[in-house]
Each structure stands twice: as C-alpha cells, then as structure tokens.
C-alpha cells in the first residue's frame, strides 16, 4: 500500500490502493500542519474508495511526510510538477484535492476540490499563528515584517522551514477556478472541519460522506 515512485525530485513514497481498476483517483494532500490534521481522514477516504472499487494514490509532497527532498528548496512549481508527474505515473483518471492541495491539481483532470483554500489564505493563517504564538511567548513579531523577511531569506512557519521562493509563491498565488473540478464545501460533508482542530482528529462520518460523493459521481 506504500508505493515508491520516481518523482521529479527523486524517489518518493505514495499511499496507494492500486488494483488496476478503471477509476484511478490522484489524491493531493492538505499542506503543512493541515496535512497532519487531515492525514487519517484522507487515508480513510481512500480506504472507502478502495472498498467501492476505486483505485487511489496519495503522493507525498516534496519535503513533506516521508519525503527526503529539502523542503526549503521547494516552490509551488516543484510541487505542481510532482502532482502532474504523479498523475501521469499512476495513470490517474481523476483528482481529489484536499484544502490547499487544490493549488496543485492538474487542470486537465476532472474531479473534486474538498474545502479548497488559496495559497494566500494558507500563508495568512501560518503567519498569524506565528505572530500569536510569539506574542504568547512575550515576543513582538509583525506579519508584514515576517513576510518581507521570508521573501528574502525564507521563514519557519508552524515548524516548516520554507524557502524564499516558496514564501513569495504563496503570497502571490490565488486559487484559480477549474471547470473540470467541482468544489465540495465542508457544509456538504457535515460536522466541523478537521483541519481547524488543535489536535489531529478523525470522524468516520466525514470520511463516509466525502468518499460517498466521489464514489457516487464516479460510478454513476
């Protein structure tokens, strides 16, 4: 179920449910701390798709999870190239992007974007969290100054060391709409968004709901 594959940045791992079935879904994970909070949920959605007769593949983003690639050297383009290459390598027929994973979804693939969030919003949350945490620790940090520093020298946000190019990419790139991919709001799933919890959590009903939407539309 863990597959090694030759990604553009070297060998990477992917969680894979591959039985060479006709429907093959590339799953693009949420980013950074949200990736941890949504990992169990994402894997459970894939397990349900597997049960419904649908293959799926969840590649690590370079520099994240099991990836050995240096995160500080990654950019939005290296991540997009990874997603595109994974789509090709695993012969994906559809894409299911989770949260900021929507930023990486190949335009040509039909599919879904679950609770999509723009890179700009994701960066805003990360910077704000750092400013609030600094203040709780008695240090005074300022979002604009942090962003300016990050664009020059990179920045550590929520424990992730991001390079200058990635910080600039995140600050400048909004989420484009994609006619082939349908957005699924948290309200369609029900319950509270798991990415907003202080600790990773899991809700089988939410995994049921998202897998059901994907499976029903794929197998209709």
What track of x and - describes contact with another protein for positions 111 through 150 (by CB under 8 A)? Answer: ----------x--xxx-xxxxxx--x-----xx-------
Minimum distance from CB of 134 to another protein (Å)? 9
Q: Which is nearer to another protein, 19 or 197 (CB)?
A: 197
Total number of residues that touch another protein (CB under 8 A): 25
Query: Phi and psi at residue 152, in whole multiples of 5°?
Result: -85, -50
Query: Can you tell me which of 17, 41, 57, 195 binds another protein, judged by CB under 8 A?
Result: 195
Q: Quick check: 219 binds another protein (CB under 8 A)?
A: no
Q: Which is nearer to another protein, 24 or 99 (CB)?
A: 99
Q: Which is nearer to another protein, 22 or 136 (CB)?
A: 136
Q: Which is nearer to another protein, 24 or 130 (CB)?
A: 130
Cα separation values, 189 from 43, 60, 115, 159, 193, Å: 16, 25, 10, 29, 9
Identify the CA nearest to 25 among candidates 78, 100, 98.
98
Positive/negative CA dihedral, 161, 162, 164, 170: negative
Query: Can you tell me which of 186, 200, 208, 212 binds another protein, judged by CB under 8 A?
Result: 186
Residues 6+ apart with CB under 8 A from 104: 28, 61, 76, 79, 80, 82, 83, 97
- Give the strand pairing for 181-184 and 111-114: parallel
Q: How many whole angstroms separate alpha carbon 220 and alpha carbon 215?
A: 8
Site for another protein in 13-72 (CB under 8 A): 33
Interface contacts to another protein, rule CB under 8 A: 33, 121, 124-126, 128-133, 136, 142-143, 158, 186, 191-193, 195-199, 201
């Amino acid at each position: 179920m863990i597959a090694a594959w030759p990604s553009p940045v070297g060998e990477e791992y992917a969680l894979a449910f591959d039985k060479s079935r006709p429907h093959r879904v590339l799953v693009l994970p949420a980013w950074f701390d949200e990736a941890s909070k949504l990992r169990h949920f994402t894997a459970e959605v894939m397990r349900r798709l597997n049960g419904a007769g649908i293959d799926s593949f969840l590649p690590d983003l370079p520099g994240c999870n099991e990836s050995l690639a240096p995160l500080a050297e990654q950019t939005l383009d290296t991540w997009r190239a990874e997603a595109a290459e994974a789509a090709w390598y695993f012969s994906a027929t559809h894409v299911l992007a989770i949260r900021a994973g929507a930023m990486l979804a190949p335009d040509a693939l039909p599919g879904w974007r679950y609770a999509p969030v723009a890179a700009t919003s994701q960066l805003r949350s990360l910077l704000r969290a750092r400013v609030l945490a600094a203040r709780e620790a008695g240090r005074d940090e300022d979002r604009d100054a942090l962003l300016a520093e990050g664009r020059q020298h990179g920045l550590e946000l929520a424990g992730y060391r991001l390079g200058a190019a990635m910080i600039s990419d995140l600050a400048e790139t909004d989420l484009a709409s994609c006619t082939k991919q349908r957005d699924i709001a948290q309200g369609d799933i029900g319950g509270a968004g798991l990415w907003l919890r202080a600790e990773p959590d899991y809700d089988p009903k939410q995994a049921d709901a998202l897998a059901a939407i994907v499976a029903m539309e794929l197998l209709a």
